Amino acid sequence: CMNYILPPSYAWGNFSVLAVGIWAIVQRDSLDAIVMFLTGLLLTVLTDIIHISVSYPSHDLSDTKRFSLGMAIFSLLLKPLSCYLVYRMYRERGGE
């Protein structure tokens, strides 16, 4: 559903951060992986705001487009919680 409204760079950015997140979960002793994941999450918060604000149509919203944008906004609202939880993991792994 993301390809209806949002550009492909939105999906590529979020899936890249998801891949780094999987890497950070698999390698529990790696501090670099968790730092890269946290940095990626923080960057995608900014890029998601830009993508949604630029791509938001003023009219002609079908149900699929409305659902797609709703899920993108919901994902954006959950990212600060994700950043907090990843930061706690960073502190548990010995980050300063």
Whether 81 is in a domain gets the answer yes
pLDDT in tens, 20-62: 999 999 998 889 999 999 999 999 999 999 999 998 887 878 8
Whether 45 is in a domain gets the answer yes
> What global pTM score does this model have?
0.85
Whether 4 is in a domain gets the answer no
Range of the domain at 46: 31-50+75-95
Task: Tell me whether residue 26 is exposed, middle or buried, using C-beta atoms within 10 angstroms of its C-beta: 0 to 12, 13 to 18, 19 or more.
Answer: exposed
User: Distance (Å, rounded) from C-alpha 53 to C-alpha 88?
Assistant: 30
pLDDT in tens, 4-30: 788 888 999 999 999 999 999 999 888
Whether 69 is in a domain gets the answer no
- Kindly tell me if the per-residue pLDDT of 64 is higher than 60: yes
The token pair that represents 17 in the structure block: 């951060």
Whether 20 is in a domain gets the answer no
Whether 65 is in a domain gets the answer no
pLDDT of residue 21: 95
Number of domains in the chain: 1
Whether 79 is in a domain gets the answer yes
Whether 68 is in a domain gets the answer no
